[in-house]
């Protein structure tokens, strides 16, 4: 059982997934920092010096000057400013992943589809398309000349 688990854990896909999760976690932290430290301050400044991470509604009806003051008093709060920041995080990550996947798909070699007519030949009697290895035409039943496997490829 340990041997099977080791084989499972060491498969290439599993290692790739682990690396992707680690890099994704680090990327999420970078995006959160971009949103909180770069994007939101100018937006808050344009909207009248608003700090989105401090936007909240006290659910007990009492006014608190800051979210920390409300939490210190144990007041329930609806933190819609943090929700706005999280949504921006999500939108930025989604957009970046969309761009990366789109570029990967563009760079990936398109698989060449085999020509469906590559293994066909024309019957000399009725001019119908039949498989190259056929010994008789399926339409007119005329005998066909023998074609070896090396000639087919």
In this prediction the pTM is 0.51
Contact 52, 41 (CB under 8 A): no
Percent of the chain predicted with pLDDT > 70:
90
- 21, with CB counted inside 10 A (0-12, 13-18, 19+), is exposed
At residue 137 the predicted structure's pLDDT band, cuts being 50, 70 and 90, is very high
Contact 60, 77 (CB under 8 A): no
Structure letter (DSSP) for residue 139: T
| pLDDT above 60: residue 152 | no
Query: What average pLDDT does this structure show over 76-92?
Result: 85
| Average of per-residue pLDDT values in the chain | 81
The least confident of 94-98, 105-109, 146-150 is: 146-150
From start to end of 45-152, where are the E strands?
57-58, 77-78, 120-122, 129-131
Query: What average pLDDT does this structure show over 107-133?
Result: 82
């Amino acid at each position: 059982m340990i041997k099977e688990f080791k084989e499972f854990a060491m498969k290439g896909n599993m290692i790739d997934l682990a690396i992707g999760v680690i890099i994704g976690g680090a990327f999420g932290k970078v995006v959160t920092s971009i949103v909180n430290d770069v994007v939101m301050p100018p937006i808050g400044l344009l909207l009248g010096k608003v700090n989105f991470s401090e936007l909240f509604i006290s659910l007990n009806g009492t006014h608190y000057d800051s979210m920390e003051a409300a939490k210190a008093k144990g007041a329930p709060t609806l933190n819609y400013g943090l929700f706005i920041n999280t949504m921006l995080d999500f939108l930025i990550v989604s957009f970046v992943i969309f761009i990366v996947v789109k570029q990967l798909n563009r760079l990936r070699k398109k698989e060449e589809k085999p020509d469906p007519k590559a293994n066909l030949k024309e019957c000399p009697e009725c001019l119908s398309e039949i498989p190259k290895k056929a010994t008789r035409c399926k339409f007119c039943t005329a005998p066909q000349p023998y074609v070896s496997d090396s000639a087919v490829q």
